[in-house]
Structure 1
Amino acid sequence: MNALVRSHVPNGIKLVAIYIAEAHSKDEWPVGETISCVEQPRTLEERLENARRFKKNFNFEMPMLVDDMNNTFHNTYGSWPFRFFVIYEGQLLLKAEPDTEMFTYDLNEIDKWISNFYESRSQTI
């Protein structure tokens, strides 16, 4: 993820992460100690602290926003448990879906999509 962010900064493209409710918190839907390492935040401050801790523990360079406790972002975009979106000038252009077998993303494909979009936009300016 850090490489993806770094590769697009020179073009003025901003990538951000949005921390939403925990998919597999220790107290709601645990799936092992490695994945379920925090409880579901009950307050915005707890959610903010989880986001800060994640950024620090994983040296996560991407700026991170935090969904509110009403889960407004998640409810609007259906981001559970995680998705990649491209929003340009207020319009949703891409909602990448994970692989159906492994539930993972090919970051190279997302990188290519962003590069192609940027190149198509810069040619029209």
Structure 2
Amino acid sequence: MFKLDEFKQLVRDFGDVADFLVIYISEAHATDDWAFGNNVDIKQHRDLSERLTAAQSLVEKDPLCPVVVDEMSNITASRYGALPERLYVLQGGNVMYKGGKGPWGYSPEEVRMVLQKMK
């Protein structure tokens, strides 16, 4: 949620050259586990229903693109090394950009530079 506005600006600026998708994964900063003091109040998901409910809080912030959820086995997060968050640009099934792990390696500005080259 920290850089959601920057992400939304990417969607606005590059929606004509890229399809955007958010995959909601395991909650990295769950309030019943390890949390930032000023973060959203979401507990660790015990089942898919809880993960869907948590993802709804993101949908309500209107990320301007589809939001899907990872399986409870966390297969997507595992395969993409996405915990707690990570940005990717894919083209034709190939990884064109693999961002650093968030929150410190989460850089919408780097994605912007990659997408500008694709325009």
Task: Give the TM-score band, short-chain normalised.
Answer: 0.7 to 0.9
Once the 2 structures are TM-superposed, how far is the Cα of residue 92 of structure 1 from its aligned partner? 2.1
Once the 2 structures are TM-superposed, how far is the Cα of residue 110 of structure 1 from its aligned partner? 1.4
1:8 aligns with 2:14: yes
The one-letter code of the counterpart of 1:14 is D
1:62 aligns with 2:49: no
Q: Structure 1: which 5+ residue stretches go unaligned?
A: 120-125
Give the Cα separation in 1 of the matches to 2:20 and 2:40: 26
Q: Percent identity?
A: 29
Q: How does 1:26-45 map to 2 (within 5 A)?
A: 26-32=31-37, 34-35=38-39, 37-45=41-49
Change in CA separation of 1:77 and 1:98 when aligned onto 2, cut-off 3 Å: closer
List structure 1 runs of 4+ shifted beyond 6 angstroms: none
| 2:56 aligned partner | 52
Give the Cα separation in 2 of the matches to 1:93 and 1:104: 16
Range 64-73 or range 36-45, more displaced: 36-45
With structure 1 as the length reference, what TM-score do the two structures score? 0.79
1:89 aligns with 2:89: no
Q: Structure 2: which 5+ residue stretches go unaligned?
A: 1-6
Larger of the two Rg values belongs to structure: 1
With structure 2 as the length reference, what TM-score do the two structures score? 0.83
1:25 aligns with 2:26: no
Q: Which structure shows the bigger proportion of residues in helix conformation?
A: 1
For the aligned residues, what is the CA RMSD?
A: 1.9
Give the Cα separation in 2 of the matches to 1:78 and 1:9: 25
